[in-house]
Amino acid sequence: MKYLYYPGCSLRSTGRAYEESLLSVLKVLDIPFEELNDWNCCGATSYVSIDETDAFALAARNLALAELQSPDGTINLIAPCSACFLVLLKTERYLESYPDVREKINSTLDKAGLHYHGRVNVRHPLDVFVNDYGLENITKRVKYPLKGLKVASYYGCQMVRPFKTFDHSHYPETMDRLVNALGAEPVDWPLKTRCCGGSLTGTIQEAGLRLNRLLLKEAEKRGADIMLTCCPLCQHNLECYQERINRKFDEKIDMPIAFFTQLMGVALGLSEKELGMQRLFKMPSLNQITHPKGEMVNAW
Amino acid sequence: MRLPTPTTVHSEEEPHKIEKMKRVIRRIKFESELDLNFGERVADRAYGQKLLSCIQCGTCSATCPLAHYMDYTPRKIIAMTREGFKEEVLNSLTIWLCASCYSCYVQCPRQIHITDVMYTLKREAIQMGFHPKRLPIPILAQEFYKRVLKDGRNTESWLLVSLYLRTNPFIMLREAILGLKLFLRGRLTIGREHVKRRDQLHTILEHKKGEAPL
C-alpha cells in the first residue's frame, strides 16, 4: 500500500525538522510514499474565520488532487501537522455528512476541472506507524532502545478532537505505546491534550505563554526528560517561548521538545542530520541512556 | 442679560443626558433592542438547530483552556446568541480567544458544534467590522486569508511581518532575536512558497464572494 504525503506549510518552515525526520523514518521502515502534487495550504483555523465555503473548497482541492494522483481504491493521505490533519479530515467528514456542502463544493471544484468522489482517508503518521506498520515490527527494527528515558507525550488538541479516528479525545495513549516500543518510559500526565494556544503566542502573547507554562511545568513535575509533540505549532510554542516563560514567570524550565518522529529515528539508528536535530534549540541529552550491552549511545 | 429659559435648557440637554443615563444605568436590553432571530440564524450556519437546545450546563466553559481570559464564557456566549444579543456577542473577545481546540465540541452533552458556532460568529464579526480595532487575532486571520488566496500556500515569516505591520510594528523588535535564531536553524524561509497552478486555485476560490450577512 502506497501512501500519499501532504506536507503542509509549516513543515516547510518552522517544522522542517518534522518533515526531515518523518521522511527518514518512513524510508528506513520501507513504507512507500509519494508527495501530493501541487498541494495547497489547508487553510488552518484562519481561513474558515473569513469564508467557510472557500475554506472547504481550499481543503477539498487537496483531496481532489489526491484522487487524480491515485486513480484506484482508497487513498491514505498522510498529514503530519495536526491542523492540516484536522482541516482535511473535517472537510472530508463534512462533505460526507452534509450533502448540500458536498454539492456546493463539488460544483466549485468542477469549474476548475476537479471533482471529489470521497475516496480519501486522511491519516496521521502516528496512526500509520502504530496501527498500520505495527508496534511489534517497530520494536524489531529498534537499534538503540531508549532505556531509562522518561517521555511526556503531548498530543495537542486537533489530532484527537473533534473526530475520534484512532484514539481517545482526552486521554490518548497511542504515542505512549510507541514510546514504550522504543524502549523508553512514558510519563503519565493529565495535560496530554490540553491546548497550547496555537497562534496566541504571536497575537495575545500573555495568554499563549501561560498556557505553555502550564504544560511545561506539569511535564517537569512528572519527571519527564523530554516532551514529544506531533504538531509543528505545538513544538514551536513549547520550545521557542521557554526562555520567555522563564524570564516572565521566574521559572527554571529546561525541557527539550522534539517531534515523535525524531525520537523514533534515534532509536532506529538514524543520524542527527537525517532527523533535523540541529534545528532544535535544545538537544535532548541522552547520555544516561545505555545500549543493551552497556555502552553509551552517541546517536545525537 | 437674559438667562435661558428652563425649557430651552431642557430641550438642548435632555437627549444627551438620556444617552448618558442609558449607558450608565441600564444593563438589561429591552426586547425591541434585541435581534431575536440571531440565534436561529447562527444555528443554521453552524450545522443544525442544536445550538437552541443548549441546557446551559457550563461544560463548555469548564473545559475551555482560555475561559479565564474571556469577557463572556462560552456558555454565556451561547445564551446571549440564542437570546439575540448580537452586538455584544460580535464585539466580544471570547470569539477571538477561541483557539479551536474542540474540547467543548466533544464534551457538550447536547452535541452542539461550539467551535463551528465560534467560527460563524468570527466570520460575521469580520464582515460587519465589529471586532475590536488592532486586536491581532482577526487581523492575523485576514492576512492569512490574503496570503493563501494569492499564493495557495502560507509563508510564516511573511505572514508574521504583515501581522506586525498592521498591529504594532515594535513587536518586530521584540521578536527579532527569536526570528534570527529560527533563521539560523533554517526554520524561517525568506522566499515565498506558492502552488504551481494558481489559475486552478483562483477558479476555485474566487468563485465565492463571501456569505450574505446574518
Confidence of residue A271 (pLDDT cuts 50, 70, 90): confident
- Please identify, among B97, B131, B165, the residue that sits at the C-terminal boundary of a domain: B131
3-class DSSP state for residue A74? Answer: coil
Tell me the C-alpha distance between B105 and B116, whole Å: 9
* Cβ atoms A42, A83 nearer than 8 A: yes
Question: Among B156, B137, B135, which Cα is nearest to B99's?
Answer: B137
User: How far apart (Å, rounded) are the C-alpha atoms in residues B101 and B120?
Assistant: 16
Eight-class DSSP state of A279: G
Evaluate whether residue B190 is within a structural domain. Answer: yes
Whether B106 sits inside 8 A of A170 (CB atoms) is: yes
Q: Which of B97, B177, B207 to mutate to test the interface with A (most CBs of A within 10 A)?
A: B207
Q: Any idea which residue has 450556519 for its cell? A: B45
- Is B204 within 8 Å of A9 when comparing Cβ atoms? no
Same domain, B91 and B122: yes
Which of A49, A85, A97, A165 to mutate to probe the B interface, most B CBs <10 Å?
A49
Catalogue all structural domains in chain A, each as residue range(s) with its CATH number.
3-123 (1.20.1050.140), 135-279 (3.40.50.11810)
Please name the residue that has the C-alpha cell 529515528. A265
pLDDT in tens, A203-249: 999 999 999 999 999 999 999 999 999 999 999 999 999 999 999 99
Q: Does the residue B198 lie in any domain?
A: yes
pLDDT tens column, A38-86? 999 999 999 999 999 999 999 999 999 999 999 989 999 999 999 999 9
Residue A171: helix, strand or coil by DSSP?
Answer: coil
Mark whether B50 and B125 lie in a shared domain.
yes
Q: Is A246 on the interface with B (CB under 8 A)?
A: no
Chain segment B56-96, per-residue pLDDT in tens: 999 999 999 999 999 999 999 999 999 999 999 999 999 99
Residues B119 and B146 occupy one common structural domain: no
Task: Provide the domain limits for residue B120.
Answer: 31-131
User: DSSP secondary structure string, B18-52?
Assistant: HHHHHHHH--S--GGGS-TTHHHHHHHHTTSGGGG
Which of B82, B99, B131 is a domain's end point? B131
Of all helices (H) and strands (E), which one includes residue A3? strand A3-5
**pLDDT > 90? residue B139:** yes
Query: Does residue B208 contact residue A54 with C-beta atoms inside 8 Å?
Result: yes
Share the mean pLDDT of chain B. Answer: 86
Instruction: Please report the pLDDT score of residue B44 as a whole number.
Output: 87
Claim to verify: residue B78 and residue B91 sit in the same structural domain: yes
How far is A144 from A125, CA to CA, in rounded Å?
21
Interface residue B207 vs chain A (CB under 8 A):
yes
Q: Residue B66 is nearest to which of A86, A114, A207, comparing CB atoms?
A: A207
The fraction of chain A above a pLDDT of 70, given in percent, is 94
Same domain, B90 and B152: no
Determine the pLDDT at residue B21: 64
Place of cell 465565492: B208
Residues in chain A within 8 Å Cβ distance of B201 = 40, 58, 61, 112
The HSE-up count of residue A161 (CA atoms within 13 Å, CB side) is 24
The residue among B205, B209, B211 with the most chain A CBs within 10 A of its CB, best to mutate, is B205
Do B105 and B66 have their domain in common? yes
Closest CA relative to residue A109, chosen from B207, B149, B152 = B207
pLDDT per residue as tens digits for the range A74-120: 999 999 999 999 999 999 999 999 999 999 999 999 999 999 999 99
Residue B211 has pLDDT above 80, yes or no: no
The reply to whether B46 and B114 lie within a common domain is: yes
**Are both B123 and B205 inside the same structural domain?**
no
Q: What is the DSSP letter of A132?
A: I
CA separation for the pair B183, B198 (Å, rounded): 28
> Would you call B69 helix, strand, or coil by DSSP?
helix
pLDDT class of A294 with cuts at 50, 70, 90: very low
DSSP state of A143: S
Could you tell me if B61 and B126 lie in one domain? yes
Residues of B in contact with A199 (CB under 8 A): 99, 137, 140
Q: Which residues in chain A are contacts of B208 at CB distance < 8 A?
A: 51, 53-54, 57, 108
Which residues on chain B are in Cβ contact (under 8 Å) with A272?
none
Q: Cβ B210–A16 below 8 Å, yes or no? A: no
| Position B22 in a domain | no
SS3 (DSSP) at A181: helix
Flag whether B19 is in a domain.
no
Last residue of a domain, one of B131, B149, B173: B131
Per-residue pLDDT of A149-194, as tens digits, reads 899 999 999 999 999 899 999 999 999 999 999 999 999 999 999 9
**Do residues B138 and B102 share a domain?**
no
Assess whether B163 and B210 both reside in one domain: yes
C-alpha cell at A222: 512528572
- B106–A114 CB contact, under 8 Å: no
The answer, yes or no, to whether the previous bond of A292 is cis (omega within 30 of 0) is: no
Interface check for A48 against chain B (CB to CB < 8 A): the answer is yes
pLDDT of residue B29: 84
Answer yes or no: is B213 within a domain. yes
Residue B1 maps to a domain: no
Examine the domain organization and report whether B112 and B158 are in the same domain.
Answer: no
Instruction: Give the pLDDT score at B7.
Output: 44
Q: What is the CATH number of the domain that holds B84?
A: 1.10.1060.10
The count of structural domains within chain B is 2
Residue of A nearest to B135 (CA): A203
Helices (H), A125-199: 125-127, 135-141, 174-181
Contact B103 A195 (CB under 8 A): yes
B85-117 tens-digit pLDDT? 999 999 999 999 999 999 999 999 999 999 999
Of the given ranges (B25-39, B52-66, B107-121, B183-197), which has the lowest mean pLDDT? B25-39
Residues 21-50 of B with CB under 8 A from A: 45, 47
Residue A275 contacts residue A265 (beta carbons within 8 Å): yes
CB within 8 A of A107, min separation 6: which ones? none
Average pLDDT over residues B45-55: 83
Q: Average pLDDT, stretch B108-131?
A: 92
User: Looking at per-residue confidence, does A282 or A166 come out higher?
Assistant: A166
Cβ–Cβ < 8 Å for A175, A228: yes
Contact in structure between B122 and B99 (CB atoms under 8 Å): no
Q: Identify whether B115 is part of a domain.
A: yes
The SS3 of residue A17 is helix
Average per-residue pLDDT for chain A: 91
CB-defined contacts A:B, below 8 A = 174
